[in-house]
A and B are shown apart, each in its own frame.
Chain A
Amino acid sequence: MLDLHALIAALHLLGSSWQPWAVVIPGILIGLLIHSVPGLTTSMALAICLPLIPYMNFLQALIFMTAMYAGSVFGVAIPAILLNVPGSAAAVGTTFDGFPMAKAGKHNEALGLALVASCFGQVVVYLLLLGLAGPIGAFALKLGPPEMLVLSLWGVTLIGTLSGRHLSRGLLAGVLGLLLGTVGVSARGVPRGTFGIDLLLDGIPVVPAIVGLFAAAELFNLVGREYIVDNLAQRQVKAIRILAGMREAFRHKTVMLRGAILGSCIGIIPGGHAIANLLSYSEARRVAKDPEKFGTGDPRGVLAAETANASSEGGSMATLLALGIPTGGATAVMLVAFSMQNITGGPSFMRDHADIVYAVILANLAQVAVLAVVGFAFIFAAGFVVKVRLRLLVPTILTLAVIGSYALSHDIAGPITLAVFAIIGWIMHKLDYPVQAAVVGLLLGRGAEGNLLRTYQMSGGNFGFLLTRPIAIVMFILLVASTTLPLVRSMRTAARKGKLKWNEEHS
């Protein structure tokens, strides 16, 4: 719980000097920029900056890294909205309504919405961490393979039922993704579907595959259009309209709050941050009175996805700060920076350095204010993309995407993956199969299979084992309820309509 002495010490630490704060703006800018090239990742940026760490004091180093982290959490949304190319898996949900908004000339508003959502999500999760980092971290450790398996299944089922017009096609696309996700050496040491290619031993490179699926499906669609925004009058970058978008966000407080809380909860589970934005988006769409508006450029879609994206990233900070156990690439690099400053992670970290933990959390809260300003300037600049002719923009994005995928794999495997999945994405789009379901399946496939295997191994083949996992059981019930209830509801509505029609015809 909240340790007031440590909190005061933390405030003192933060307020005693301006120097730790000098690194906030560069950190945020690096974070924002790194995702302008699809394929570059936050952990890469952090790793590149590691040699700087010994020259900073510990607090400065941590503020620098968390600033970079904060910037990158929002940075992924910018290409997602403007170009439909999510900067990372965590921004997939943002594309659903963000890009349609941009196409309709509401790019200013969409970016404004996303900025507020990202700041809001980060504020919520860091407030939660301030009070509950310890218990959250301890809870996270209780989540083992069975829980992670149920979460993955939940992700695939939800995206399958909610994307596209056909339930069966959504589920089929999700399963296709899951199967593709199992390519590579399994946790049991068996290579599958690698065709003797060493590069596939680690599975299909996920980021180039996703960029391929999305970029191709959407960018090929843009061929023939002059600009992202058709209407000349709308093709503007106006600060006032970004502000309008930011104001609009506050009209949907429940959507944001729900997204932030869902994101915080799911972010605790390792790998959860890739799913949080989708679950939040699906939830927002499920509870909406007019779900059919989602996917056509609904501000609530952007808000739901972005708040969850931002807050889920904080979840993995909880396990790092409270337990010193990294659950993701970026937090792993941060742990390295801890050790470079001779501070080892672990529960003793929280115990011995509670003031520093609080200082990091408070600094993150303060950074949100800086992010709001720096992010505003950044999206103002980025918004000018809408003024670029598509015949210049599309090849540029594709080139950048190819370079990004090359940077990720350091060889031609990245670009080849991108090309292959571009073709798959294009075909799926043509045949009206939801690409996003396949993406989610692909993201979760490897973990889902590994966790199924581990659940089986832990149980020793005994079904009774599942009864000892109450959290998994609750999650499974939620999975079934959240996917079947809307189905039942829509079937009932359809039945009622059918009955009415029948009555009309036969009366």
Chain B
Amino acid sequence: MERRTFLTSGAAVLGSSLIGAAAGCSRFRSVEGNRGDQAWPQRLLTIVVPFDVGGSADRLSRGFAQYMPKYLGQPMTVVDRAGASGMIGTNWLLQQPTDGYTVMMTPATPYIPINIIITNAHYTLDDFTFVNGQWTDYSALIVAKDRPWRTAGELIDAIRANPGKISTGVDFGSVGHIETLAMLEALGLKPNAIRFVTFDGSGAMHAALAGGQLDFYIGQSESNLVIRDYVRTLAVFLDHRVPDFPDAPPINDVLKPYHATVPLIAGSVRTFVFPSAFKVKHPVAYAKFVSAYRATLDAPNFKKFLSDNQMAGDWVGEARTTQIIREQFEVLSKYKSLLNKS
């Protein structure tokens, strides 16, 4: 045991990819019985992030890898397995033994529902245990700064007056894309009333918006922060105003004069995710993970890490998180048919 710990911590220096392999090897070597639950965890935990390094889930995971081992009693390492909107990493999680030594950190919505509804993933929501949606984002409607529209109402009127002329950027199948379509539908407009310009990911789209290549964009408020100096935020997809954008009214207030409403889809709900079999087979181990996780959330140095990085560490619990994800799943399923019309 001593030796194995030593080996794995040595590997930590070599980099996360190598650690992934090391953890894989030790997994083969160890055979754990049911009575192992009390002693869990006995070795390194791997946090799999189904997105690229530097993304929100990756950064958050690296925070946990730094602060959570104190409460867990074992080191944690982060492995990024990006691809296919999170589907590659999620599939990989499901292929691992359900012994709790592999846990995923991901924006569970929208990506898991999107994988299921749009990219035909082979899993369902029942395959997962969603520990706690600790950090949730919402969408915002923004326009390039040099555009004339001062309010969301002016933009909507401009779209109505010039059908097919105003352009928006979308990451195909994203929450922002669906919200844009839902808004058009609520206003009685056809998808071709605006020009949809499809991007792979938000980086290039932000640059295009900042450069004035596009007119407006609906997407995650937090990722929009990168270009906040180039854009105006005209509305938020929430039921209340937020201090970050005091001038941006809730979208359904904007739509009221048009007698329209749109569903408010939660943006990224970031949570630890286990294969559901882990909690069923090893309830004691699962409870130990949750208590270590909650202790980390309450730790002052982790709280400081979160606030330094503009992240959130709320406790909403498994039941509420699962409920939110199921609700989002229903909304996304409902609007799926709209996607192919844009």
Contact = CB atoms under 8 A, between A and B. Distances in A.
Nearest to B17: A407
A141 B211 contact: yes
A141 B118 contact: no
A402 B52 CA distance: 21
Interface in B190-241: 195-200, 203-204, 206-208, 210-214, 225-230
Interface string A116-148: 000000000000000000000000111111000
B207 A336 contact: no
Question: Mostly helix, strand, loop or mixed at chain A's interface?
Answer: helix
A401 interface: no
A339 to B, nearest CB: 6
B53 A453 contact: no
B166 to A, nearest CB: 10
Contacts, number: 140
Interface in A448-473: 450, 453-454, 457-458, 460
B228 to A, nearest CB: 7
A454 B197 contact: yes
A141 B207 contact: yes
Contacts of A142: 211
Interface residues of A, number: 57
A188 interface: yes
B323 interface: no
Nearest to A148: B204
B164 interface: yes
A201 B204 CA distance: 19
A454 B213 CA distance: 11
Size class of the contact patch on chain B: 35 or more
A339 B58 CA distance: 14
A350 to B, nearest CB: 10
A484 interface: no
Interface stretch (B33-41, B80-88, B103-111, B245-253): B80-88
A326 B310 CA distance: 19
B17 A410 contact: yes
A323 B15 contact: no
B18 A189 contact: no
Contacts of A144: 208, 211, 213
Nearest to B211: A141
Contact of A47 (B20, B58, B91): B58
A47 B65 CA distance: 14
A446 B119 CA distance: 19
Interface in A389-417: 406-408, 410-411
Contacts of B230: 347
Q: Which of A47, A50, A408, A411 has the most CB of B within 10 A?
A: A47
Contacts of B211: 140-144
B294 interface: no
B92 A198 contact: no
Nearest to B13: A48
A87 interface: no
Contacts of B225: 344
A454 B17 CA distance: 35
Interface in A369-384: none
Interface string B90-114: 0110000000000000000000000
A326 B210 contact: no
Given A48-B16, A347-B229, A410-B79, A187 B118 contact: no
A44 B308 contact: no
A345 interface: yes
B257 interface: no
B75 interface: no
B59 interface: yes
Counting from the closest, the 7 A-B pairs by CB-CB distance are A141-B211, A47-B53, A189-B172, A201-B84, A144-B213, A407-B17, A187-B198
Interface of A: 40, 43-48, 50-51, 54, 140-145, 185, 187-189, 191, 198-199, 201-202, 270, 319, 323-327, 329, 332-333, 335-336, 339-340, 342, 344-348, 406-408, 410-411, 446, 450, 453-454, 457-458, 460
10 contacts: A47-B16, A185-B119, A188-B172, A201-B84, A339-B309, A408-B17, A457-B167, A458-B195, A458-B213, A460-B167
Given A185-B84, A198-B88, A325-B206, 12 more contacts: A47-B54, A51-B65, A185-B119, A188-B198, A189-B198, A198-B91, A324-B226, A327-B207, A332-B54, A340-B309, A410-B20, A411-B92
